[in-house]
Amino acid sequence: MAVFVGLIVIVVLIALSVIYQPKHVDVASSPSGYGTAYFYKNASFPDTSIDLFVRDNGVSSDRIKIGNVSDWGGQGIPPLRAVWSHDGTVLAVKRGVSDSKEKESFQWSHGYDFSHHKRIGTESIKVETETSNLISNLLAERGGEGMELIPGDKNSTMHSSQVWPWNADYY
């Protein structure tokens, strides 16, 4: 009987560890020192998402939610790319999107301007062409694309440090 109970406990623990996977955070500081980007991956059955937050050193120590940056409509797939502007004052994220005609494309979906302390885009998963154009223009004004946080190659890893959420305040 004890062996049977032990097996049930093991099966339940394995099931819970698969269903309730812990969050993890990828953290990357701006090369200019203006702030920090936090990519929170929330993995729980059946949904997974990646939320982008920033800490703007010129405003406060609180994190500002930029939005869900999961690729292809919030399915927990990392975005195609994330870059700092060459001068380190703009963070930009490029995601895959589908329009109503099932055409696929990649557009800048979310960003943050550390010089003007403002979010670019909305918290929504939807990508607007105006937002993509605004981010493209802003990157060009700030010297183009600089250091990559997430390279365009899906086989690459993020160029940031992974920390557990309860330690993220120390970065």
CA distance linking residue 69 with residue 77, whole number of Å = 9
Provide the pLDDT for residue 167.
45
**Residue 96, in any domain of the structure:** yes
**Residue 134, in any domain of the structure:** yes
Per DSSP bridges, beta strands 104-113 and 63-68 are unpaired
**pTM to 2 decimal places:** 0.72
**Residue 89, in any domain of the structure:** yes
Per DSSP bridges, beta strands 118-120 and 104-113 are antiparallel
Provide the pLDDT for residue 81.
84
**Residue 15, in any domain of the structure:** no
Residue recorded with tokens 């406060």: 60
Query: Between 100 and 122, whose confidence is greater?
Result: 122
Provide the pLDDT for residue 23.
62
Number of domains comprising the chain:
1
The three-class DSSP label of residue 107 is: strand
Domain that holds residue 139: 22-170
The three-class DSSP label of residue 146 is: strand
147: pLDDT strictly greater than 70: yes
Number of other residues whose CB lies within 10 A of the CB of residue 69: 24
Find all residues with CB under 8 Å of 64, minimum gap 6, and list them.
Answer: 53, 54, 55, 56, 112, 119
**Residue 79, in any domain of the structure:** yes
Provide the pLDDT for residue 144.
94
**Residue 5, in any domain of the structure:** no
Provide the pLDDT for residue 75.
57
The token pair that represents 113 in the structure block? 């301007």
- Kindly report, residue by residue over 65-120, the tens digit of the pLDDT: 998 887 655 555 677 789 999 999 999 998 876 555 555 677 888 999 999 999 99
Query: Between 149 and 137, whose confidence is greater?
Result: 137
**Residue 14, in any domain of the structure:** no
**Residue 8, in any domain of the structure:** no
